Amino acid sequence: MIPIDRRSALRAAAGVAVTGALATGCTDGASDSVPPSAVPSGSPSATGSRTGGSRPVAQAAPAPRRFPGLPAEIEHGPRDRPGVALTFHGQGDPATATALLAEAERAGAHVTVLAVGTWLDEHPALARRILDGGHDLGNHTLHHVDISEMDEERAYAEIVGCADRLRRLTGSIGTWFRPSRTQHATELVRRLAARAGYPHVLSYDVDSLDFTSPGATAVTRAVTDEIRNGSVVSLHFGYADTVAALPALLDALKRRGMRAVTTTELLT
Ligand SMILES: [Zn+2]
């Protein structure tokens, strides 16, 4: 129902900013191509607390999709096509986030950002910045604590807490969910993610280990040693090594004929 690529529509709608539309539950006039069902007036986002303030909402971002034939936990895409997905833990200094996005865009690459909910509270403009760059935006829990160790009620609150913030800022709960502090979701977390509206959880098959700050060269090498067609790579905002590594990493991918695409494009 909702087209995947809404960049041009988003730009067109940018001049029709409807301040506080989600807060009032009124989506009329946001854009003539937004179905009223995109933001149900009875949804928690319409009436919930607002930590991000009253922001212009141009148009609902893409919603999660079910990919038939793919498992509940996705680790990689097809191995017979040259696409790869660079996926970022979305937290930390917003300057590293915008630097990484700009560098990716300079190279014609698109990435996937799994945003931590409290990070969106601190930097609400980044949600739209990520979408406007043609990247995927998803949910990486509210507080980024060890979700595998939580009971059902607290784990679910971590998932929907971030989903609510994404919905308030973008009109969608985001295209992906990745659990916090683990490569693999427990069965409980997979079930709770599905209940919250995410048919799949997003894992990865290549770990850059950039969060250990091993130096830019080591980050690039960790990825290029392991990456192959269809790979989903774990990377992080908030680390200088990652910013320094990205140009060489994107160059290396290009030389090998690989394209850095969003996770949605990787699997579509
Ligand atoms: Zn993380």
Residues 45-93 pLDDT 10s: 433 344 444 555 568 999 999 999 999 999 999 999 999 999 999 999 9
50 lies in the same domain as 73: no
Q: How far is the CA of 29 from the centre of ligand 1 (A)?
A: 36
51 lies in the same domain as 65: no
Please, what is the angle between helix 125-132 and helix 94-106, to 10°? Answer: 10
**Rounded distance between C-alpha atoms, residue 44 and residue 61, angstroms:** 17
Domain, as residue range, for 129: 61-267
150 lies in the same domain as 26: no
How many structural domains does the chain have? 2
pLDDT one-digit tens code per residue, 111-151 = 999 999 999 999 999 999 999 999 999 999 999 999 999 99
80 lies in the same domain as 50: no
- The residue out of 12, 42, 60 marking a domain boundary is 60
Q: How far is the CA of 145 from the centre of ligand 1 (A)?
A: 9
Q: How far is the CA of 139 from the centre of ligand 1 (A)?
A: 10
Cβ-in-10-Å burial (0-12, 13-18, 19+) of 199 comes to middle
Reported as type and span, the H/E element at residue 9 is helix 7-13
Per the prediction, the chain carries an average pLDDT of 84
Q: How far is the CA of 63 from the centre of ligand 1 (A)?
A: 21
- The residue out of 41, 60, 79 marking a domain boundary is 60
pLDDT one-digit tens code per residue, 207-260 = 999 999 999 999 999 999 999 999 999 999 999 999 999 999 999 999 999 999
- What's this model's pTM, rounded to 2 decimal places? 0.79
**Rounded distance between C-alpha atoms, residue 149 and residue 117, angstroms:** 19
Q: Are strands 18-19 and 56-57 parallel, antiparallel or unpaired?
A: antiparallel
